[in-house]
Amino acid sequence: MERQLCQNQAHWNESDVILNQLMEIARVSALAEMASGVAHELNQPLGAITTFAQAGERMLDRPEPMVHRALDVFRQISREALGAGEGIKRIRRLFERDLPEPARCQMSELIAEIRPVLDIVALRIEGCLKLDAPPALPEVLVDRLRIQHVLLALVQNAVDASTQIAGASIRIDVSADSYTVEIGVTDSGPGVPAELQDKLFRPFFTTKPQGTGLGLASSRAIVESHEGTIGFENSPAGGSRFWFRLPVAEGC
């Protein structure tokens, strides 16, 4: 029995490594494609804006300023800037997908569906994943996959924060009041330094050598698209707790 458990553990670890590698390749490829598209859409209008701005400066920095011609130049600058904005909108549409209609569900059911994946992620620190959730909670109206993405991102973040801690554990807690359902993920790490606290949810900000800086930023975007809120606090006993709140579905 013990031998079988060891074999299963090795298999899970190998699968986890492969999964992480595939996810990293997908993230890097998507970022590279997006960066290339942004550069293509912005380089030409930015170059034109620079040229027009320099021309406008020369027209006005004269004993007799060429005001009318400068006005034409400023109109060109405005058109180029608007064109750049349209280019960014086109790129965003490339990465949008048709989202399913939100559905009513229990948060405990949503967590149960993704629990096997969360357990595999927790194996990186050879720790345990604890779940503290009451059996019955008010329903929420959500896109299940997107909220599961948020939960996975917070658990991965907690695991990364706990890698140097012996006997680390990750705790997921769920609670509710009359208006919101709150999900928290607590790690065993050192907490978030004060100088980093206002940067955590910014796109592309990361303290990880191989990080993309998109996990927490995308989580905030998803939660806010559900009219929810997301945040964190350091625990007095050590570690940090990241949480997000979602409004209770009408009629509950």
pLDDT in tens, 34-79: 566 667 667 778 888 888 888 888 888 888 888 888 888 888 888 8
Q: Are residues 89 and 120 in the same domain?
A: no
Last residue of a domain, one of 76, 95, 114: 95
- pLDDT score of 247: 95
pLDDT(137) > 60:
yes
pLDDT(28) > 80:
no
Q: With respect to residue 202, please indicate whether it lies within any of the assigned structural domains.
A: yes
- pLDDT score of 118: 85
Q: What is the DSSP string of the chain?
A: -HHHHHHHHHHHHHHHHHHHHHHHHHHHHHHHHHHHHHHHHHHHHHHHHHHHHHHHHHHHSSSS--HHHHHHHHHHHHHHHHHHHHHHHHHHHHH--PPPPPEEE-HHHHHHHHHHHHHHHHGGGT-EEEEE--S----EEE-HHHHHHHHHHHHHHHHHHTTTSTT-EEEEEEEE-SSEEEEEEE--S----GGGTTTTTSTT--SSTT--S-HHHHHHHHHHHTT-EEEEEE-TTSSEEEEEEEEBPTT-
- pLDDT score of 34: 59
Q: With respect to residue 199, please indicate whether it lies within any of the assigned structural domains.
A: yes
Q: With respect to residue 60, please indicate whether it lies within any of the assigned structural domains.
A: yes
Q: Are residues 78 and 118 in the same domain?
A: no
Range of the domain at 78: 2-95
Q: Are residues 87 and 129 in the same domain?
A: no
Give the chain's domain count. Answer: 2
Q: Are residues 237 and 162 in the same domain?
A: yes
Residue 53 in tokens: 């701005």
- pLDDT score of 142: 92
The residue with tokens 């994943």 is 129
Last residue of a domain, one of 79, 95, 111: 95
Q: Are residues 112 and 155 in the same domain?
A: yes
Q: Is 0.75 topped by the overall pTM?
A: no
pLDDT(98) > 70:
no
When pLDDT is averaged across residues 133-156 and rounded to a whole number, the result is: 88
Q: With respect to residue 9, please indicate whether it lies within any of the assigned structural domains.
A: yes
Q: With respect to residue 120, please indicate whether it lies within any of the assigned structural domains.
A: yes
Q: Are residues 84 and 130 in the same domain?
A: no
Residue-wise pLDDT for 150-207, tens only, equals: 898 899 888 888 776 666 788 999 999 989 999 999 888 777 777 676 767 776 656 5
Q: CA-CA distance, 161 to 235, in Å (whole number)?
A: 13
User: What CATH number does residue 224 fall under?
Assistant: 3.30.565.10
Last residue of a domain, one of 49, 67, 95: 95
- pLDDT score of 134: 86
Q: With respect to residue 252, please indicate whether it lies within any of the assigned structural domains.
A: no
Query: Looking at the DSSP assignment, which residues form a beta bridge with residue 242?
Result: 185, 232
Residue-wise pLDDT for 214-236, tens only, equals: 678 888 888 988 999 999 888 87
- pLDDT score of 45: 81
- pLDDT score of 95: 55
| pLDDT averaged over every residue in the chain | 77
- pLDDT score of 145: 84
Residue-wise pLDDT for 75-92, tens only, equals: 888 888 887 777 777 666
- pLDDT score of 51: 86
Task: Output 216 or 138, whichever has higher pLDDT.
Answer: 138
